[in-house]
Amino acid sequence: MEKCYISKNYKDLTQAGNKAKTDIERIMDSLGFKNAGLARTTKRNKITGFFITLTGVLKAPFSLRKGDMVVLQYPLKKYYTFLCRMAHRRGCKVVTLIHDLGSFRRQKLTVEQEIFRLNHSDYIIAHNETMKNWLIEHGCKAGIGCLEIFDYLSPDANTCKRKAEPPYNVIYAGALNARKNTFLYKLGDYVQSYRFLLYGYGFESDKAKKSDSFRYMGFVPSDKLISEAEGHFGLVWDGADIDICSGNFGEYLQYNNPHKTSLYIRCGLPVIIWDKAALAPFILKNGIGFTVSSLAEIEERLSSLSAEEYSAMLANVKTVGDKLAGGYYFSKAVSEAEKVLYPAAL
């Protein structure tokens, strides 16, 4: 039995989704997986990229043998169902790692369409227990395990010496425009003794309340951010409101593992996250930050933070960050999938 995956063309590796998928491919390479498609490419031309991916997809079934285990990264657009069917015809087992659910924030599929697609898989690696339970409740018949959190590979680690000394800096990385993250433009009224460092594109300072509460850093490549970030915490929040993560993107936090959480941890930053987010239990269990039900609570929480409490968070972040850098979480999840699908071989 060989363990296989199928690479493709990735147009832009600065996108979080593509970074997550290429990291998984690199982890699979380190675990001895075989790429059944074409070599990974980064062609920016849409037509060239389309034909490279299509050729790899058409080649892959002929590289598979009976008994092989194939890991597919979902979504894979129109190719996913085809590859599942071809793999099964070749006598293979299919493991699906979910990156994004199309029936949630982007609503490109109905729930029924999404579950129908995923039921072509033999085993699914969901983000977390909440997503796993949602899949089961909506009729998913495959075996399901959990990733816990996305690994994050990078050449460097953060060497900044952080201490629990106000004023604190809280980092927010991502899309910064008023349409995507309206909450940023309301947040100034609740910021007194700390400041925000904003990394990304599109911050409209003229629309922000108390804009002097923010320092706009611009877009910084993730590897550079990991090695140079100087803040004290990273914020995971989404949507329009201060008191709840709202809208399609905000509500999705109740089910998904935002890739930026892993980025913050690799930056050496403890995490501040919505208490109803699916990743909140992971943050608390590992002691790598704190949760809030409203962004208005950050001020008081930081004011009461002791040096000992913050030092413990930093030590725990280092432990989890080292695991992310080594591909620990995906390696564990795919090993559990193999045990379920091939019990006699172990």
What pLDDT does 49 receive? 86
Please name every residue paired with 199 in a beta bridge, in sequence order, or none if there are none. 173, 218
What pLDDT digit, counting tens, does each position of 315-337 carry?
999 999 999 999 999 999 999 99
CATH class assigned to 3-149+327-345: alpha beta
CB 160 within 8 A of CB 215: no
DSSP-based three-state secondary structure for 125: strand
Q: For the chain, which residues make up each domain, given as ranges?
A: 3-149+327-345, 169-325
What pLDDT does 46 receive? 85
What pLDDT does 226 receive? 93
Counting as low any pLDDT under 50, the low residues of the chain are: none
pTM exceeds 0.85 for this model: yes
Q: Please give the Cα distance from 314 to 171 (Å, whole number).
A: 15
Token look-up 């002097």 returns: 212
What pLDDT does 158 receive? 75
What pLDDT does 346 receive? 59
Omega within 30 of 0 (cis) for the link into 167: yes
Closest by Cα among 171, 295, 170, 175 to 242 = 295
Q: Do domains 3-149+327-345 and 169-325 have the same CATH topology?
A: yes
Closest by Cα among 93, 94, 100 to 77 = 100
* H helix or E strand, kind and range, residue 92: none
Q: ∠ CA(198), CA(105), CA(259), 5° rounding?
A: 45
What pLDDT does 52 receive? 87
Looking at domain 169-325, its CATH superfamily turns out to be: Glycogen Phosphorylase B; (3.40.50.2000)
